[in-house]
Structure 1
Amino acid sequence: MAGARTDHVPPDILDGPPEPRRPSWAEDPPDPLHPEGRSDEPLLVARSAEGDEEAFAVLVQRHAPTLIRLAARLLGARTEAEDAVQEAFISAWRRLPQFQGRSSFGTWMYRIVTNRCLNVLRRSGTTAPLEAAGDVQAPEHTVSPPRIAEARDAVRELREALGLLSAEQRACWVLRELDGCSYEFIAEAVGISQEAVRARVFRARRRLTRVMGDWR
């Protein structure tokens, strides 16, 4: 239904029966930076900007899994990630009439979520280990008990090292190494220059390489 906009997100958009908890995301949803089969998205965004709650609900359901995965990588906890994404959607709902469409809706939401997570990390002054990042895992080919234990120790040390990175280093590393974003996109999302992004990614890689070198 299209009509006058309100300043609140319809309560049934983000609420609903909780999905079963899984140890990691078994399937990666489509990358919002490279959408496929989403020719209806501009129409959904336009209808949402006019106050169509059902259209916005479709956008939320479509993009929430990827955005929660991103937020979990940045914040280190699924619960905090869900809160950050819900707040990001509330912000997006209120700002949709100003959305210019210079990028896709998914890219726009990526920036909003990244900035919200960065604000959380900067306020806390610390970052948590990447326990929610399913990408950091022990090698599956490790079969002997000693090698399994060694691999698990290495993964734990890697996660702890990621937790010691600064908020911007962590965001830049996650967006570049785990999500494959361009330096240009990261610079805009984080609010720094491309040169600064490259420097932060380099420092993060160097620190992680030192940690990995201890057990390699």
Structure 2
Amino acid sequence: MSALDDGRSDAALLAAHVDGDTTAFGVLFGRHRDRLWAVALRTMGNAEDAADGLQDGMIAAYRRAATFRGDAAVTTWLHRVVVNACLDRLRASKVRRTEALPDDLEEYVGRGSLVTSGPGSGDPADASVRAERRRAVLAALSRLPAEQRAALVLVDMEGYAVAEVAVMLDCPEGTVKSRCSRGRTRLAALLDDLAPRVDEGHSGPRNPRPAPAVRPTEGTTAPP
């Protein structure tokens, strides 16, 4: 049996950590590391700041474990701590880097979105266009206000329910919906600005692009 599957639930591991088990928190973090890393990366916009945000969040969770009340899943609480740590860094440093995010992130996929939703062709030119569109979407996402970006990452990319995201972000459900709506509108505008460069040299007709829909994705593997 691996350390990640030692038989204890997340809640039991957190309680064991509070009681002085020196290995329990490491097992808990290892179990959820990849998905927490994916959220931090998409929220911060680049790997360096994401690593700092994730580290801040895990230190906070380690120190504040005794404050966990059990009124939400441990994973929800961990996401809340990490997202809040990332948002604190964004607000403090005004991080607004617009370089492309790593190519190993999952594509945005949606009907009529900037990223093609159909099956890929074997044409290298088409593959290049798809890659450029993916980079444009991810770069546009990094330019959203921090709160809107966090809501979109959690709801649209990670697939969490609005009610659960409201707990993570410590705000009403209506606020989450509003942030997602404004974020999608702003994202669409940013993508329209980028569209001429993305579509340059593409022979197909340009169509109006609504705010891209996204599918929940598995967490991007964290760096060692």
Partner of 2:30: 61
TM score, norm. by length of structure 2: 0.70
Q: Does structure 2 conserve the Cα–Cα contact (< 8 Å) formed by 1:126 and 1:166?
A: no
Following superposition, the deviation at residue 88 of structure 1 comes to 1.6
Q: Does structure 1 conserve the Cα–Cα contact (< 8 Å) formed by 2:76 and 2:168?
A: no
State how many pairs are aligned: 182
The aligned runs of 1:65-214 (5 Å cut-off) are 65-129=34-98, 131-132=101-102, 134-136=105-107, 141-210=120-189, 211=191, 214=195
TM score, norm. by length of structure 1: 0.73
Q: Aligned letter for 1:131?
A: L
Q: Aligned letter for 1:173?
A: L
User: Sequence identity, in percent?
Assistant: 30
Runs of 5+ unmatched residues, structure 1: 1-28, 30-35
Q: CA RMSD in A?
A: 2.7
User: Which whole-Å CA distance do the structure 1 matches of 2:9 and 2:128 have between them?
Assistant: 49
- Higher RCO (CA 8 Å, separation ≥ 6 residues): 2
TM-superposition CA deviations, 1:140-181 (whole Å, max 9, x none):
613323323322332222122112211011101111111111
TM-superposition CA deviations, 1:55-96 (whole Å, max 9, x none):
222112212222111101111222322222222222112112
SS at match of 2:97: coil
Deviates more, 1:138-147 or 1:172-181: 138-147
Following superposition, the deviation at residue 38 of structure 1 comes to 6.4
User: Which whole-Å CA distance do the structure 2 matches of 1:212 and 1:48 have between them?
Assistant: 49
